[in-house]
Amino acid sequence: MDKSELILELIEPFVNEGKILPRSYTEIAENIDDFVLLMVSNELVACAGLRSCKNDTAGEIYCMAVKHSHQKLGYSKDLLTKVINKAKCNNYSKVFALSKYSTNWFLKYGFIKTDIDELPKNRQKSINLKRNSSVFVMNID
């Protein structure tokens, strides 16, 4: 399996639960450089995408998942560390995520819950307000 197939397999249960938006193989493959992967014994156990908000110094964390069998073992923190390192390499001043779930997780790891108007203008326009997601932002040192 290639990386895109592994990501699709990992996120499928979360898509079925309504926790992650569905994505096609093509969409993931075309954006594969966005993703950070966490492998354990040659098995993908966690992933997250980090995409640029064009004309802004913010990065959006999306499609973040830790395999059910590997939750509550510290992998989400390890994954976040990799995402933040990637954000620093991309010279982002902040990262943000939209989520209907995991509110406590984001707050625990230093994100601040904020309003949609705090996001880059180009991203505000494409948010599906019907999902009623919360917005979480973290400044990057």
Contact, 100 vs 19, CB < 8 A? yes
Find the mean pLDDT for residues 61-66: 96
pLDDT score recorded for residue 102? 76
Residue type, 46: A
pLDDT score recorded for residue 109? 94
pLDDT score recorded for residue 26? 97
The verdict on pTM exceeding 0.85 is yes
Range of the domain at 113: 3-139
Residue 52: CATH number of its domain? 3.40.630.30
* pLDDT exceeds 90 at position 129: no
* Confidence label for 116 from pLDDT (cuts 50, 70 and 90): confident
Number of domains, the chain? 1
SS3 of the chain: the string is: CCHHHHHHHHHHHHHHCCCCCCCCHHHHHHCHHHEEEEEECCEEEEEEEEEECCCCCEEEEEEEEECHHHCCCCHHHHHHHHHHHHHHHCCCCEEEEEECCCHHHHHHCCCEEECHHHCCHHHHCCCCHHHCCEEEEEECC
pLDDT score recorded for residue 127? 79
pLDDT score recorded for residue 88? 96
pLDDT in tens, 75-113: 999 999 999 999 999 999 999 999 988 788 999 999 999
